[in-house]
Amino acid sequence: MAQHTVTLIPGDGIGLETSAAMQRVVEAAGADIVWEVAEAGAACAEKTGTPLPDETIEAVKRNKVAIKGPCTTPVGTGFRSVNVALRKTLDLYVCLRPVLSMPGAGGRYDDVDLVIVRENSEDLYAGVEFEEGSEAASKLIKFCEDEGAGVIRPDSGISIKPISITATQNIVRYAFEYALKHGRKKVTAAHKANIMKYSDGLFLRTAREVAKEYEGRVEFDDRIIDAFCMNMVIDPAQFDVVVFPNLYGDIASDLAAGLVGGLGIAPGANIGKEYAVFEAVHGSAPDIAGQNKANPTAEIMSAAMMLDHLGELEIAERIRRGVRAVYADGSVLTGDIRKATGSSAPAASCTEFTEALIAAIKDQA
């Protein structure tokens, strides 16, 4: 088996606990990984003055593959999101989030098997924003009025929503190629093209054009995002691969996670042509950080996706089998899953869960 060097960014809050658990599990499953630890996030900003040091970006570029814990982002004010900066700097244009029902995880459905493909570089996440009361905001408001584009109240803050043909072609093509490679039958594009004709309208039109290249091989349909959400709650099994502009994809990821047991089990990856950064969907969970209560499954399943990416398919599958066995057994599960299943059995700590998983992985040998 090959040795791989991977950049590990533990991040903030529960990231410290889930990353340590993930490392133990990956090693127990037999992967030969050299971990190069790098810093990012709020604690890093306090210590070094920046939430995303150049050395961290350099480390990811050098190793090409990273796994990261969540990074705290101040809400409303303060520094911009480390995650958004990383995705932009490394051109990680795909956010890939498989959502799968797992027996024992407390999901609302037992037949969900879909993949969220979220555009990761533009839309309202582009970071093009104008602060309320600033000279630039006033100029923009006047420009919109002069152009006859619409009247904006003078006390508005403004975030710009760019959606390009280039980025849409890239993400929709990725969704179709993913479907072909993984034997999936249908790609659905979610949008609000009825209201935002020049941004979401362009997304839908471009998606339809790309879909024509795959006619006869992969089906295509589209849903308005609000109807998509209702359909997800009523019958999520109807969806296969779903491709989204950035913001809807973010919201739909948490919705989908909630249907199969919660954020504690939802893995993900940010993928570009050169680099890939694997990370759970959840955030730094300040409410339970440092208490050994976090569910490390999401980061461990993200690591399994990373091992697939590194070509270590057997080890990745060993980890997934172990996770399924622990959930099916049901005797050692963290508090979030106890809550989702409505069970009054005692909640396992992050450490206890990790040890049960390592035992289940070793049992397979």
- The kind and range of the H/E element at 74 are none
d(Cα 5, Cα 16) in Å, to the nearest integer? 19
Nearer to ligand NAD, 193 or 288 (CB): 288
d(Cα 143, Cα 355) in Å, to the nearest integer? 60
d(Cα 334, Cα 71) in Å, to the nearest integer? 22
Nearer to ligand NAD, 206 or 264 (CB): 264
Nearer to ligand NAD, 123 or 279 (CB): 279
Q: What are phi and psi of 339, to 5 degrees?
A: -65, -45
Structure tokens at 175: 């969704």
d(Cα 237, Cα 254) in Å, to the nearest integer? 16
Structure tokens at 200: 């979401």
Residue in the shown chain whose Cβ atom is closest to ligand NAD? 283
Q: Count other C-beta atoms under 10 Å from residue 209's C-beta.
A: 13
* Site residues, ligand NAD (CB under 6 A): 14, 18, 70-73, 83, 263-264, 279, 282-288, 294-295, 298, 336
- Nearest distance in Å: CB 31, ligand NAD: 21
- The kind and range of the H/E element at 211 are helix 200-212
Strands, E assignment, 170-268:
186-191, 219-224, 241-244
Nearer to ligand NAD, 133 or 290 (CB): 290
Nearer to ligand NAD, 18 or 23 (CB): 18
Catalytic center residues = 125, 192, 226, 250
How much of the chain is helix, strand and coil, in % rounded to 5? 45, 15, 40
- Nearest distance in Å: CB 125, ligand NAD: 12
- Nearest distance in Å: CB 295, ligand NAD: 3
- Nearest distance in Å: CB 52, ligand NAD: 11
Q: Count other C-beta atoms under 10 Å from residue 247's C-beta.
A: 17
- Nearest distance in Å: CB 100, ligand NAD: 17
Q: How far is CA 247 from each of CA 26, 76, 151, 298, rounded to the nearest angstrom?
A: 32, 16, 24, 21
Sign of CA dihedral 170, 176, 181, 184: positive
Nearer to ligand NAD, 322 or 335 (CB): 335
- Nearest distance in Å: CB 29, ligand NAD: 20
